[in-house]
Amino acid sequence: MTATQTLEKQIARFAPVEIAVPDGALAGAELDVLKHIIQAAQAMDTLFMEQVWTGNPALFAKLSSDTSPEGRARRHYFVINKGPWSRLDHNQTFLPAEFGVPEKPGQANYYPADATKEEVDVWIGSLKGEAKAQATGFFTVIRRDAGRKLIAVPYSVEYKDKLAPAAEHLRQAAALTAQPTLRKFLELRAKAFQTNDYFDSDMAWMELDAPIEPTIGPYETYEDEWFGYKAAFEAFVTLRDDAETKKLGVFGSHLQGLENALPIDPKFRNPKLGALAPIRVVNVIFTAGDGNRGVQTAAFNLPNDDRVISQKGSKRVMLKNVQEAKFQKVLVPISGVALNATDRSKVSFEAFFTHILMHELMHGLGPHQIQGGTAVRLALKDTYSALEEAKADISGLWALQQLADQGVVSTQIAETMYTTFLASSFRSIRFGITEAHGKGIALQLNYLLDKGGFTVNADGTFGVDNTKIKDAVAGLTRELMTLQATGDYAGAQAMLKSMVVIRPEVQRVLDKLTSVPVDIEPNFVTARKLLER
């Protein structure tokens, strides 16, 4: 097999899908406003690539200059991964040695390339007050000054040349829109790009009530594999689906009841959650940056600023057209291979869609601070992202069972949620266990196998033991939330080390899935039409 054929085989794991909204859905949207927001969002791709690795911009330019079939394939896969490392293959580089690509740096480009994790950790430990808050904050990079001492540099300074034009597009969109809450968010987010203070614009994003639902800025911290402190730039330009949003809004009223029933020591529960969490079902027009690299985001729960969460809660955004594509192109074919004949008939989009919603809702439940007021994110450091994703997954399944028992969710969801989750576990573990979601799903799959909730049949397919699955789900929810509540970093490390593995029986199924796409590669048809106006 030639190098080009190998690359094409890797690319084929992402099924091309047209991501569009019907022309009728745009009738009430402000097309020029959307165009400016998309143009601002495009800058997030450039910013994110720079955050992933300092060598990315030059390498991308080099790959773009090679118009041979092999050159085009290299550039294509680079764009999918936002860098020269295959995110589905344990971050192995897909470029030959002459390109001089190093191992994917765990510090990304958030910390000096010549620094060690230990050096930075000791430096952070020596700081106090505002200096420490800046060093561990979402919106700074760590650099060396003229005397080679470590310093925190605001994103607004580090990325000024790229944030300025993005801010200008947001201001132009704000000037054109007739939607007051959208105008307020766009103006404040443009200001935040220049001041590095995102609080006011995050508050405005929580209050956003408009047909156009944009999310743009630095948010998730997965790329910072050293400490999980630094936020990556991303963008989601979407249109709200009012009918589906109304249908799912009922779940928000059950959050306090779910919190009160969590299977953990009552002292770890929150007797009063923040404001009611908004839920938005949207259809994607365009995504960029950390929102469009490797495996596509199906939903998200933002912002991550604890100050905003304490006052406004956090917003759960469901990307419906993306989820539909994933279900049809990936999950249905997987269920035909991974599940036994009885269980594969119990896989439904409704259960898939609703569990993703519960995953996002459960990010807001459970412990967020340990005793003394330290954020769980800071206490668990590099283990936090994987454990938090596992917590949201498994407690989301636990929560669905609670709501099923109360008659809140449909009978169809109650009858298909465990088998759908099992099939989806094979979908997610194929993302690779070097990534937070992949680590989290490996942990869950192995735990549920150990507890007998999931079983392996004689023919190598998997099934659900309905007599054991409920207790197993509640048990893992308890263990993960207790680790978070106590800030048990050593315990978190030990759990990840022992449980984040791909066992032989799981690998045998994965080996049979080589012809099934791992995820989708979006072709943003509607966005392209808007940009061509």
H helix intervals, 363-468:
376-380, 384-405, 411-429, 436-450
Please say if the pLDDT value at position 179 is more than 90. yes
pTM for the model: 0.85
- Whole-angstrom CA distances from 170 to 196, 211, 291 are 16, 16, 18
pLDDT one-digit tens code per residue, 392-426? 999 999 999 999 999 999 999 999 999 999 999 99
Which of 421, 377, 375, 416 is CA-nearest to residue 396?
Answer: 421
Q: Which of 117, 55, 107, 110 is nearest to 82 (CA)?
A: 55
Whether 447 maps to a domain, the answer reads yes
Asked if 80 and 251 touch (Cβ cutoff 8 Å), the reply is no
pLDDT level of residue 159 (50, 70, 90 thresholds): very high
pLDDT at 300: 92
Question: Could you report the per-residue pLDDT of 46-92, keeping only the tens digit for each?
Answer: 999 999 999 999 999 999 999 999 999 999 999 999 999 999 998 99
Model confidence at 274, pLDDT cuts 50, 70, 90, reads low
3-state DSSP: the chain helix, strand, coil percent, rounded to 5?
A: 55, 15, 30
Tell whether 5 is covered by a domain: no
Least confident of 172-176, 299-303, 416-420: 299-303
Q: Are residues 472 and 496 in the same domain?
A: yes
CA 391 – CA 118 distance, rounded (Å) = 28
Label residue 138 exposed, middle or buried (CB < 10 Å: 0-12, 13-18, 19+): buried
DSSP strands (E only) in 13-113: 14-19, 85-86, 92-93
Are residues 388 and 338 located together in one domain of the fold? yes
Choose among 509, 429, 499, 422: nearest CA to 464.
422
Residues 269 and 290 reside in one and the same domain: no
Provide the pLDDT for residue 512.
96
Label residue 340 left, alpha or beta by phi (over 0 means left) and psi (-120 to 50 means alpha): beta
Please give the residue range of the domain that contains residue 109: 13-45+105-240+274-313
Residue 391: inside a domain: yes
Three-point CA angle 168, 171, 177, nearest 5°: 140
- The identity of residue 123, as a single letter, is W
Q: Can you give the pLDDT at residue 206?
A: 95
For residues 163-183, give the mean pLDDT: 98
* 109-142 tens-digit pLDDT: 999 999 999 999 999 999 999 999 999 999 999 9
d(CA 309, CA 302): 9
Domain shared by 159 and 19, yes or no: yes
Number of domains in the chain: 3
Are 436 and 396 in the same domain?
Answer: yes
CATH code for the domain of 230: 3.30.540.30
Q: Could you report the per-residue pLDDT of 216-269, keeping only the tens digit for each?
A: 999 999 999 999 999 999 999 999 999 888 888 788 789 899 999 999 999 999
Same domain, 223 and 96: no
